[in-house]
Chain A
């Protein structure tokens, strides 16, 4: 069978996401809290610097 003779269907095989965890309200609020996010930014930047220094790049 080749691609040309396989009839196309209009049904979209969308991946089932019903088992994926939904973030709760508290998690969503925390993701946009400027104060806690500022400390995450500092932590992430320090982590990058640590990796850069260790790798020498």
Chain B
């Protein structure tokens, strides 16, 4: 009998839990530790954030699913891991602190034979003064509750425009090291779509404030597409969309301070600017959750297990070197932790070896470096691959071959909404192969035969279908495992 513990119940953690439960007999336990009671289909938070979907359409409670599937559930957050065990037991352990299940604040040590860290991002709103919906002045779409608040504030702004008051709206990234620019891109064009639907687009000035040095970078260094038999770049393609929709992009930015009515930001040339605004949705930078690690003697080994960012070190090459010298081989294959062959980190939780987009510094020394995205399809694939490795180790033995899924070989589909509507919606549907460019294998970094992108109504239909498909899958309804990651 083996005990598998999974930290996190987002796309990566929940997917891993379901696959492990499917792959392993009931004599083995699968335990999910998540501070949240609900599962959230985060890609649709964009539509909650413009009032096109209710929160209840993008979340559902985890407990009934886990009860039905025989997965143990602790509504708690991990605070420390003991990979070598402790004085009481040589098996590894995770110390958790409950956030629900009528045990708030209580702690427990959970023993494991295999551990998956899928804790997702810590939303670091505190990195920029005045950023965020709780202690700051901006809204967010990172959680369903944040998105609902964003929708309310956007509706209030639209109401003012209907009364004849011009409004300045800003959407983008709230720090120079943010990731998930795709989400900011989606929200920008959904806001534009709603403004047009409300008949107030002429009353709005809509800015896209981003840390990307070029439009269409998306934290992956941009893409070269095949489109209708011609090669085009994501920069040209997205620039066209910004021009068509009259959205004003401001590139290579790092916001320093956000007051109730102005954003002070620095650009790559070191200049400081002040942008007055009425409504702002700015994404926070991500960090790893603050989990400590201790060895068998009780000594703190956090810096051995985790990178300074808080993300877990895995089988990547973390050797410090100039951006120009990185290669596809630096990226992890198995997501196994450094030094421990029974711990893995997947999705946002693993530490990437370097940026994909070129990191830049302003003359003032401010770092503006979009971080690599590790969400959505890639995190689901990592989850399935690691679940397969663990299942083999349990059933075959500890020498069982580890399954591989490098982001330098992985194809990902990304559908970025540009407006919600059955017949007037649109989305940019992109296929990226591989996610992390491999310049040794492909001259343009990616396979030109597979990498493509196109905008249209079909993109919206695709995203809408995926919304229902992935929620069906996450609910583990009949045939769920046949739905790809």
Hey, which bits of chain A sit against chain B, CB under 8 A?
1-3, 6-15, 17-23, 28, 30-34, 37-38, 40-41, 44-45, 47-49, 51-52, 55, 57
Contacts and interface: CB of A to CB of B under 8 A. Distances in A.
A47 to B, nearest CB: 7
9 contacts: A3-B364, A9-B271, A12-B248, A14-B248, A15-B251, A17-B243, A20-B242, A38-B458, A48-B484
B127 interface: no
Given A15-B250, A31-B456, A31-B457, 9 more contacts: A3-B266, A8-B274, A9-B272, A12-B207, A17-B249, A44-B429, A48-B413, A49-B484, A55-B410
Contacts of A31: 426, 455-457
Contact of A57 (B207, B239, B250, B484): B484
Contact of B271 (A6, A32, A57): A6
A3 B317 CA distance: 33
Contacts of B405: 57
Contacts of A40: 454, 456, 458
Interface in B455-485: 455-459, 461-462, 465, 484-485
Contacts of A13: 250, 267, 271, 273
Given A13-B271, A31-B455, A22 B413 contact: no
B242 A41 contact: no
A45 B454 CA distance: 13
Nearest to B366: A3
Q: Report, as a range, how many residues of chain B touch the other chain.
A: 35 or more
Given A1-B364, A34-B457, A52-B484, A44 B240 contact: no
A28 B251 CA distance: 26
B301 interface: no
B190 interface: no
B89 interface: no
Nearest to B382: A57
Contacts of B465: 45
Which 3 residue pairs spanning A and B have beta carbons closest together?
A20-B239, A40-B458, A41-B458
Contacts of B250: 12-15
A55 B435 CA distance: 13
A30 B456 contact: yes
A57 B364 contact: no
Contacts of B249: 14-15, 17
A21 B228 CA distance: 15
B381 interface: yes
B450 interface: yes
